[in-house]
Structure formats: C-alpha cells, structure tokens
Structure 1
Amino acid sequence: MKIVQVITRMDTIGGAQLHVRDLCIALAEEGHSVYVVTGGNLTLYEELNTVYCQSLMRNLNVVADIKAFLELRSILKSMQPDVIATHSSKAGVIGRLVGWSLRIPTLFTAHGWSFTEGVAGKKKRMYRMIERLMGRMTKGVITVSEYDKQLALKHKVLPLEKLLTIHNGVHETELSRDYRHPDNRLTMVMVARFAPPKQQLDLLKALTKLQQFEWEMLFAGDGPLLREAQCFVESEGLNDRVQFLGNRHDISAILQMSDIFLLLSDWEGLPLSILEAMQCSLPVIASDVGGINEAVKHSVNGYLISPKEEAELVDKLAVLLTSPSLRRQMGEHSRLLYEQHFTFEQMHDKTFAYYEKIIEQS
C-alpha cells in the first residue's frame, strides 16, 4: 500500500509529530511505501521519507493557503497514493480538500479538535464551521479519544458513521528504575512544550507552597513561555529544586528516574506523554480536560485536577509526596491500564485496518 501522511509541521516535538513518526516507521517496516508531506523545509525526523510543501504554514493566510493547496495538489497528484492520512488543523483542511479534488481516499486524525472546550469563543465557532464543511469531503475521521468523538457529534461536525475512536498508543521501552536522587528527593516531571494550552507556571506556583517537602521538579520541553517560567523560578529561589531540560530525545530515561508525572493544561486530546508515564509505572496528576480521564482514573492511577484549582493541586501533590505505598500502588495501576488499552501495537493495528476500510469504501 502507498500511504501519504500530511502534517503542517515536523520541525517540532509534539504528540501529532511522534504519532506520525512511529506509525510511518512501523508501516514502512511492514513493506508499505510511506511518505510524509509537511510544511516548510525542515524536519526533526530524518529517518522518514519526507517531501516538503513549502507554502504550507500554521497561521491563517489566504494567499499562502491557496498556494499551499496548489502545491500540495501537485505533489499528491504525482505521488498517486492509495490513501492520504492528514494530521493537525491546517494540513487537515488543505489535505482533505486536495484529496477530495483528486478523488483519493482521505481521512483525518483529530489529535484534539480546534473547537474543544477551553478555546476562545470566536475561534471555536470558526473552527466548528470549517470542520462541518470539511466533514462533507472527508471519508473518515479518527479521534484519539472518545471525548473528541462525542464533541464532534455534539456539535454536528460529522455523522457517527464517519467517526472512529482509536486511542493513542506508545511503544514499550526497556525499564530500568535504578536512579535515586543523591539526597533522596522525590523527582517529579512534566513533559510538554512551554506554550498554550500547557500551564507549567500554574504548577510552579503550586510547588512554592510545598517547600517543606523534599522534591525536585524536571521540565522537559522548549517553547515561547519557557523564559517566563525560568524567571519565576529565579524570583522564588527554586533554582536548586527545578531543572529545565529543554527538548529531549531520552524521555523514557527521564520518566524512569522520576516518581510522579504531572501535566497541567487548558485543553487536550489524549497526550502521549501521559501514556509514556503510565508505561513507566508512574502515578499521574493531570488536568481533567479532553480525553485525559480515559487514561487517568481518579484515585486509581493518579488524580484529575480541575483547571486553575491550585488548592486541589497542592493537596493531591502533598498526598503523593508523603505516601510511598500509594505512589507504588497507583504506578502499578498505570502500567496495567497501559497494557490493556494504550500499547502502540493496538493503535497501529486499528489504524491500518481503518485505512483499508476507507480504501474499500472508495
């Protein structure tokens, strides 16, 4: 099978990019011809067969978007794939328009809708209208959480027969939990870009109220709001407790040296970082948004926190910081839920079966 994945950017580390990377590698190893078409002229994933659509950009720009449509149409017309799989909002729209114009079976993976709860009102209405129009040209849509499927149905974006939930899945890694902080501090970690919708600053503010406990906080990721977080740490005298690791390619090793995983966010689909933490048997504290509650079960493998509820966050952090047996118990539940529902093999098999179904229906 010849498969083309279309995504707006591959020059950053994010859930959609890692999803595309891992899926492409696995499909190629099975003998399929797999290509990634992405905007700009840069990728962080040199192992993929990448074709650049230089006019394709994230920001709305009518002239550039028309150029991107024409450029992408030329690329895909010459490639003649059996199926086009689109990802991210801009590539999802332009890619589906191109697929429809070329009569090539095309689907979209929604890694969290642009009209999800937490998005500003005007943007939300605009994105809903766009997705309703695109739904008529879309053979099928994969949602990475049941939450996103129900959101699409609620707003009449797509009919039920065009929607399929396939939970994200992550690869198994070799576990080695031998790390111990030299002064027996507990290690907490958050893996996310310093950009909306993530809320690293809210977490740091909560941690200032827990300085009576022995802990260290690791942040993996880069982004435009990083400097603001660094300045807060300096002003609060937390330099000896908080580390900013930047973009990392050894996330599994960082998770394995940690005791608690955190993710604060205003909105989400189903974050890969949480699944990676569960694979490493970590208890999770996360914002109760999007599809997170499909992976994190409150008081079972972690705690779900209402957005902007600092007192609630401080309370649950204190509970886990002071209870080794509860951390261990919740970590074991995380691992079990990962094995049951969130392995890469499960996600891969369901996704490829859907590709085949879309082609057959066309």
Structure 2
Amino acid sequence: MAKIKIAHLLHSLGGVDVYLRLLLNNIDTDSFENIVIHGTKDTNVPFLDKNKKNVKEYKISVFREISVINDLKATYQTYQILKKEHPDLLHTHSAKGGMIGRVLGPLLGIKVIYTPHAFSYLSAQNSLKKGVFLSIEKLLVKRSILLLATSNSEKKRAIDEVGFDPKNTIVFNNCIEPISKIDTLTIPKTWPDYYICTVGRPSYQKNIEHMIRVISEVNKELRIHLVIMGVGPVSDQLESVQSLIQELDMTTEVTLLSWTERTDVFNIIKQSKFYISTARYEGMPYSVIESLALSKPCIVTNCDGNRDLIIDGHNGFVISEELMQFKDKILVLLGDDKLLESMSKNSQQTFSDNFSIKKNINQLEAIYRSYN
C-alpha cells in the first residue's frame, strides 16, 4: 500500500514546533511520508522522523508579523512546492500556515487539515484588531476543511465563535513522550531551592505581569521564589516585566531565564514545588502537560487548554485571573504537604491516562487515514 504523503505548513516556533517534532518522531514511517514547509528564520534544527532520519523540508518567507509582501511571497512559494510534491493531505498549523493553506488547498485539490494552536484573534489586545482577525478566520471557514483542535476547549471555540461545522471539527489532544530521565542542568543554577516556576515568554498571552503581582502578594506572607523560563527574542513585554520587578522590589525573588534546552526545563520543573500559569489564552499548553508528566500540580487560569488539563482540586487549581484568589491557592498548596503529595500523584496519573503520545499517536494516524 502506498504511503500517505502529508505536507505540514507552519511558522515553526514555540509550541507549534514542539507539536510537529513530536508528531514526526512518533508517526508510523511505513504508512506516512511527511514533508515540512516552514519559515526561513524560525528554526535551523533538522526535523527527524521515527527512525532519526531527516524529514524533507522547504523554507519559505513566512514570518510571525503581518506583511503583505512576505505573505504573498510565502503563498506563491508554497504553491510551487505543493505543485511539485503533490501531497495527499496538507496539515496547516497556526495562523499563517492556516491562512495560506486554506487558500491554496482547495485551489490545488488538496485536502486540508487546520490546527489553530490557539486562534490568532485571541492575541488581539483591542476589540478592533480582534474583530479583524476573527473575520479572517470566519472568511476561511470551508466545508472541505477539517478543523483538528488541540483540546476540547479549542474545538468548542471553533464551533461557537468561528463557525466551524461540528461535523468537520475533531480533537487530537496535544501530548508528549513520557519523561523517563531528568538530566543535570546545562546552565548555572542562580536561584534558591525553594521555588515555583512557569514557562512562557513575557507577552500579552502569558500575562507575566499579573504573575509578578501575585507573587509579590504571596511573599508578604510566605517567601517563595519564582523562576520564569522562555524569555526569548519574541518577548515583546520583557521590558514591562523587568520594570515591574524593579518597581515591586522583587529582583531577588524572580529569576528570568532565556530559552534553554528542554532537558533544563524538565529539570527545573521537576525540582520546583509546583507549576503556575496566568495565561489569558492557550490552545493546549505543553508546559502544563510536561508538569503533569513530572508529577507537579498546577495552579492555572481558567482558559482554553488549561481547563482541559487541570481538574480543580484534583491535580491543581483552576481559577480566575483575580489576584487574591491566585495568592490564596498558592498559599494553600505551599502550606499543605499532604495535599501537595496527593495532587502530585494525581498529576502523573492524569498524564499517563490521557496525554502520552506513545499511546495516542494511533489516534492521529487514524484521523489522517480516514480523511485521506
């Protein structure tokens, strides 16, 4: 039987990059052939398949920022690649990949799967911009396109807000490989042993300023250090976060870490008391899944993805963005060792039951086969 050829179209950064690499590392190479179409400046790390062989890749002029010239150029480049490769399926990821792919797929007679990884309009900081982004999403809704959500919350949003047909909307939860080994840190440890942590670039989405204010309130009653991982080149609110840390006199209570090896991230999460997220929106956050795999309870905002992973009172707390509620739950978990131990066990069980890609990859393979 011939292999099903799948072209993946994306700007390969952050969680989208993690998603694709996990997919490629686990999907059956006897049944599927994958190619990757991604940006010229997003990643230089080769994509590898299950057998550690390089996956064919093409680079195009796709960037995070909106640019009429670059976006048209990327669309033409993708058109040429798809004409050459003739894939059976086009799996488009995130806003840019989704936009280009949903235009070209129907033109070329290629079936399209679209995974938003959190809809772009959720990133808008004003109602006008949000309305424009949402209108674009609605404009590109087509019956011939399958929406493959990363969580049940994202599926619900796709149907209720964007207008996708429930019959063409399904879920494949983000999932990861079990973390069986914790390597030693490759970076100097400059923070104390007693700490909580988060992963997320200072940005509107991750709402790190709110987290800083929460920890400031917590430390009025109980001293706890905060380690923030993922401060990279697209941290558009880094200066705001740094200014707030200075303003609240928290320079000795917060550590900002640049992007580092995933093994370092695992090490830091594993040694922490628990994980925290103040995100305004998500698709299905890998850092929370990783925390569950590492037996860490999580205190998170009640947004898409977070609420799919954390059961309030079972493996953490799901709360509103209200500052004092966040503070109270952090103090509860820091002050109750038995509760912390119970939630830690529940976190690992939640991961094992639901979010291991070793168990779940056959679900995605079945989706590809049925849609081909």
Give the counterpart letter for 2:7 in structure 1: V
The answer to whether the Cα contact below 8 Å between 2:26 and 2:357 also exists between their aligned partners in 1 is no
- Separation of aligned partners in 2, 1:57 and 1:343: 31
The answer to whether the Cα contact below 8 Å between 1:118 and 1:266 also exists between their aligned partners in 2 is no
- Separation of aligned partners in 2, 1:136 and 1:274: 32
- Separation of aligned partners in 2, 1:79 and 1:336: 42
Aligned equivalent of 2:110, options 104, 107, 111: 104
- Separation of aligned partners in 2, 1:16 and 1:69: 19
Give the structure 1 partner of residue 297 of structure 2: 283
Aligned to 1:135, what secondary structure does the other structure show?
coil
The answer to whether the Cα contact below 8 Å between 1:128 and 1:157 also exists between their aligned partners in 2 is no
Q: Tell me the TM-score normalised to structure 1 length.
A: 0.89
- Separation of aligned partners in 1, 2:44 and 2:296: 28
Deviation of 1:295 after TM superposition, in Å, equals 0.9
Give the counterpart letter for 2:5 in structure 1: K
Aligned equivalent of 2:224, options 208, 212, 215: 215
Aligned to 1:237, what secondary structure does the other structure show?
coil
Query: Bigger CA drift: 168-177 or 298-307?
Result: 168-177
Give the counterpart letter for 2:347 in structure 1: S
Deviation of 1:131 after TM superposition, in Å, equals 2.5
Give the counterpart letter for 2:222 in structure 1: F
Aligned pair count reads 354
Query: Bigger CA drift: 43-52 or 200-209?
Result: 43-52
Give the structure 1 partner of residue 52 of structure 2: none
Paired residues for 1:175-214 under 5 Å = 185-211=193-219, 212-214=221-223
Give the structure 2 partner of residue 244 of structure 1: 256
Identity of aligned residues (%): 23
- Separation of aligned partners in 1, 2:267 and 2:218: 26
Deviation of 1:134 after TM superposition, in Å, equals 2.0
- Separation of aligned partners in 2, 1:177 and 1:135: 44
Give the structure 1 partner of residue 327 of structure 2: 314
Deviation of 1:269 after TM superposition, in Å, equals 1.5
The answer to whether the Cα contact below 8 Å between 2:34 and 2:56 also exists between their aligned partners in 1 is no
Alpha-carbon distance change, 226 to 347 in structure 1, aligned in 2, over 3 angstroms: farther
Alpha-carbon distance change, 183 to 294 in structure 1, aligned in 2, over 3 angstroms: closer
Alpha-carbon distance change, 323 to 305 in structure 1, aligned in 2, over 3 angstroms: same
Deviation of 1:313 after TM superposition, in Å, equals 0.8
1:345 aligns with 2:353: no
1:295-346 per-residue CA deviation (whole Å, 9 max, x = no partner) reads: 1111111111212x11111111111111111111111111111111111134
Deviation of 1:190 after TM superposition, in Å, equals 0.3
- Separation of aligned partners in 2, 1:240 and 1:32: 51
Alpha-carbon distance change, 244 to 89 in structure 1, aligned in 2, over 3 angstroms: same
The answer to whether the Cα contact below 8 Å between 1:96 and 1:137 also exists between their aligned partners in 2 is no
Query: Bigger CA drift: 196-205 or 280-289?
Result: 196-205
- Separation of aligned partners in 1, 2:271 and 2:147: 37
Query: Bigger CA drift: 88-97 or 149-158?
Result: 149-158
- Separation of aligned partners in 1, 2:359 and 2:202: 30
Structure 2 unmatched ranges of 5 or more: 49-54
Deviation of 1:66 after TM superposition, in Å, equals 2.4
Give the counterpart letter for 1:311 in structure 2: M
- Separation of aligned partners in 2, 1:270 and 1:208: 28
Aligned equivalent of 2:307, options 284, 287, 293: 293
Alpha-carbon distance change, 284 to 42 in structure 1, aligned in 2, over 3 angstroms: closer
Aligned equivalent of 1:233, options 242, 245, 252: 245
Give the structure 2 partner of residue 82 of structure 1: 88
Give the structure 2 partner of residue 2 of structure 1: 5
Structure 1 unmatched ranges of 5 or more: none
- Separation of aligned partners in 1, 2:356 and 2:125: 30
Alpha-carbon distance change, 188 to 40 in structure 1, aligned in 2, over 3 angstroms: same
Alpha-carbon distance change, 166 to 130 in structure 1, aligned in 2, over 3 angstroms: same
Deviation of 1:18 after TM superposition, in Å, equals 0.5
The answer to whether the Cα contact below 8 Å between 1:302 and 1:330 also exists between their aligned partners in 2 is yes
Alpha-carbon distance change, 44 to 224 in structure 1, aligned in 2, over 3 angstroms: farther
Aligned to 1:314, what secondary structure does the other structure show?
helix
